[in-house]
A and B are shown apart, each in its own frame.
Chain A
């Protein structure tokens, strides 16, 4: 029997496919290439920070390197990560559909992603940008590096994101299988719905901001540049109006995956389905109202106060979700396989990320912590410990479905522990040095911080080794001959009812849904 991988052969049959599964796989490869690039830059940064003096890089090269790392990780890796890969592959399957609503737009979004990535890589070759991933004016309008090229790349990437969002919203509205009511949808689908709303509404603001930045840089018309009467803080408002909601583009799909994994590996129905579904939408809406918490040190007192309050408001639904997941584990039948380990890792790290967010939301405390390593640690806990962990969890969960092959569980556990220990070693010390006063984006530092930096760097090596182990066992699994079962974990959502890997037309007969996604049974006493 042919599956979607063996259906057609040749590179062109991939590059111009309209199959959401193949597009998902191509995104997976591209996004991990971006992660490898960003990760490599991170290891170099950490290596340079072993000493306050020069080791490998000059100050300017260090600045270019952290900009490269930040921009690649945010725009090329983490924003598209879950929706474009696992979302593309599994959103239609979880709904019982054979493809997304607009397969051609889906392919276009991938090609646009590649084009945007090309511009970003070109900007590295043409004099790597040194503005930080935030492109703050007037630095970005005055530096001599290839800002335009990079900004064009990010501008293009935005369209890829918008197209994915539009596609998902229409798919969810129109392609649900008969009987799949809104409240029978898997929560991963709900989270992608909320994410898509943000992608469609917020990304255009980023696009406009970046166009204004380019106009300012080329013609100097005086919107942002204070030398000719512009307002540099205005840029920050524009920028964060997109980039704060973007944080939820990163975390909402991650939370979605966590629902799938916790229910399957505990054989439990989710605790508080409706609360979780609604809170995703609530987070999506409130996320548009909190951008100002990035500007506590630059804006007026009144604005700071309002934004601080709203920030706390958005923290509450996230907290409730954590309680829901813990409650879901209660009296379950728990299987500690790799995807569930990553779920537990997610809980551990995301909660630390969330609590440190409370420090940053409290006005006075943020004034002290703003732009220090405390913030660097906080967002790595949320993005790496949150989004990336959920992504890894989902990847290990759906790997047998995507490729029909199983990885070595033993190796997966080794990689898990290497990454978990390495991550905490790299980033926990950064909380301490940050609250002690070590500013971020620093090439050099006062000597007393050296020991913290050294611990952090050694941790980053463990992390690197962990990812190499993962790469090895995943590739090994693809080369093995052994066929993975159709439903190795005993999950109940629709994608597990079809063969692994799925056929090109995944559902020969449209499934009819008559119950919720997580209605597991109970052990007889």
Chain B
């Protein structure tokens, strides 16, 4: 998918590449905790091994060489030192957290809406995009997020940030990317069947590309209508629930759909003509196809008429 940067091949052994402009210390803190842990762990192992080897029982009735039940000095040391280390880690973690949660005053605001199972982004000029977050490089970004159904969580591994997306409430997340490229976005709060497919791409571009993205017309007039429909099918995420090869997914397949008789959950019938298809896309909750759940989100305001026409054309094409 649009050659996204690798999480496993780039970056350090444990962490993916860090592209954040302000969280450089995050990785240092991670590895400080890591190496402290390794040193302590190896220390404990050495003591353990040494005690076992030197104390291994030779005869059945052998007793211990010594009985020690207290040592105040030792106990104070092994309480105070870990406590100090832990306090340092706490403050350091807290400091990074503050950086993470502080939004620069000049941040660019983008609205994010989580829906089962895709992300919709609304830019300052009103432009909307699905599963594609385009941001200018070296520019603080503020995401204002909300969900329309269940909980989701917006996760940018390369930027080390994540925030829950909650229905009926706005949550805010900020970041600033210092590096161009395409990166993964995952949903990390369990949200149902397609939770693991609720992915998106973060595209970090330079400011010229960003401006042209904002002004770019979504609809490509130069290709046949049904082909444009096929593109929208992928781009707008219909493919998460609808197949075009006859197989059943969360929603009915589009193959052979046009002009078929549809039976609905409430026992009524209708023919899948243009009017019905358009209604199904704009108001999916009005007629629920029998055997399916009422889970399709409404695309009202997300697709312009031209795009809906293209999809219908594509569905017709699939029924030939």
Contacts and interface: CB of A to CB of B under 8 A. Distances in A.
B92 A367 contact: no
Interface extent on A, as a size class? 35 or more
Interface residues of B, number: 90
A316 B78 CA distance: 10
Contact of B155 (A323, A331, A439): A439
Nearest to B90: A312
A367 B89 contact: no
From B40, B67, B96, name the one whose CB has the most chain A CB atoms within 10 angstroms.
B67
A305 to B, nearest CB: 6
B79 interface: yes
B282 interface: no
Contacts of A227: 167-168
Interface stretch (A6-14, A211-219, A351-359, A476-484): A351-359
A380 to B, nearest CB: 17
Contacts of A336: 52, 56
Contact of B57 (A138, A335, A344): A335
26 contacts: A59-B194, A272-B75, A273-B69, A297-B162, A297-B164, A298-B163, A298-B166, A305-B94, A312-B89, A315-B86, A320-B79, A330-B68, A331-B51, A334-B56, A358-B89, A361-B93, A364-B93, A364-B95, A364-B160, A368-B162, A370-B188, A439-B187, A444-B197, A448-B9, A449-B8, A523-B62
Interface of B: 6-9, 11, 13-16, 23, 26, 29-30, 33-34, 37, 40-41, 44-45, 47-48, 51-52, 54-57, 62-71, 74-75, 78-79, 82-83, 86-87, 89-90, 92-101, 149-151, 153, 155, 157-158, 160-164, 166-169, 171, 184, 186-197, 199, 293
A499 interface: no
B64 A271 contact: no
Contacts of A323: 78
Interface string A266-277: 111111110100
A436 B15 contact: yes
Nearest to B13: A432
A251 B166 CA distance: 33
B190 A365 contact: no
Contacts, number: 264
A320 B78 contact: yes
A445 B13 CA distance: 19
A270 B69 contact: yes
Contacts of B16: 436-437
Contacts of B96: 363-365
A52 to B, nearest CB: 9
B90 A139 contact: no
A504 to B, nearest CB: 32
